[in-house]
Amino acid sequence: MSFAFSVAGILAAPFLGGLLAGLDRKITARLQGRKGPPIIQPFYDVIKLFGKESTYTNRHQVFYIYAYLLWMAMALLLLLTLQDFLVFVFALTFAEISLALAGFSTRSPYSHIGSNREILQILASEPVLVFLAFALYLASGSFMAGGLFLLGEPLLRNFPLIFAAVLLILTIKMRKSPFDLSSSAHAHQEIVRGVTTEFSGRYLALSEIAHWVELVIILFVVFLFWVDPWWVGILLALAAYLAEIVIDNIFARLKISWMVATAWGWGFGLSLLNILYFTM
């Protein structure tokens, strides 16, 4: 895809992500029998946050919050320009680690625990993405995501188990039940707002935007499973997204140990199995 397209994509991603988040809140409300907020509610929230006083607890926190957003954007850029998938995974990891470090830097027990859970979430989700990179290679002979477009058959056909694993980490990445552990939009949990407890004003807004970008990224990853014709991929991504929202509403939040066990047991296991099956 062209460079201009990617730049446009990066600029559009927060909007798309915000809309998706708004859709999520609306649908969640409807699933619960409520009317719910308007779809553009997330934008109201973020704009408001930009207008609020920003406090910080120390200076590195600020750096790492910016790093979170920037590297998320970097990951998106790498993904949209269909670069090396492994490099994309690394950039994504950098972004998430920045978030964890921003939480760590504050010395608040709540964000500290949130950060610890955040790195456990990285631990749970990163392997699957790396496996996906391998799947990409096995399918197309290159780690470049662009290779998929030349394949002629959807990735899903040969790697259904990895697709299942990606769905699993989609839940983790979206920070939704049963995995809304490190931080969640709804406050009612044991570690208050987790990683973002100590963010405020503009910094909270930045992390929120980064989260939207992350949402777009991960849905794009789902999309990669069926790039040709492209609309099937988009439908696939949307379907996965809707399924996640429903799952969010029919599950209790589970524990961090359970998450790691599941992600490593099922996510890791399924992916590896798929790869071994394919190569054997």
- Token look-up 């209790």 returns 252
- Of 201, 240, 216, 236, the closest CA to residue 11 belongs to 216
Query: Nearest approach, Cβ of 29 to other proteins (angstroms)?
Result: 6
| Beta carbon nearer to other proteins, 23 or 232 | 23
Query: Nearest approach, Cβ of 229 to other proteins (angstroms)?
Result: 26
Q: How far apart are alpha carbons 111 and 104 in whole angstroms?
A: 7
| Beta carbon nearer to other proteins, 29 or 232 | 29
Q: Which helix (H) or strand (E) holds 109?
A: helix 109-140
255 phi and psi, to 5 degrees? -90, 160
Q: How far apart are alpha carbons 159 and 278 in whole angstroms?
A: 8
| Beta carbon nearer to other proteins, 2 or 188 | 188
Query: Nearest approach, Cβ of 219 to other proteins (angstroms)?
Result: 21
Query: Nearest approach, Cβ of 9 to other proteins (angstroms)?
Result: 15
CA atoms 54, 58, 59, 65: torsion sign? negative
| Beta carbon nearer to other proteins, 235 or 243 | 243
| Beta carbon nearer to other proteins, 156 or 272 | 272
Residues 6+ apart with CB under 8 A from 6: 77, 80, 81
Is residue 214 within 8 Å of residue 73, measured between CB atoms? Answer: no
Query: Nearest approach, Cβ of 239 to other proteins (angstroms)?
Result: 15
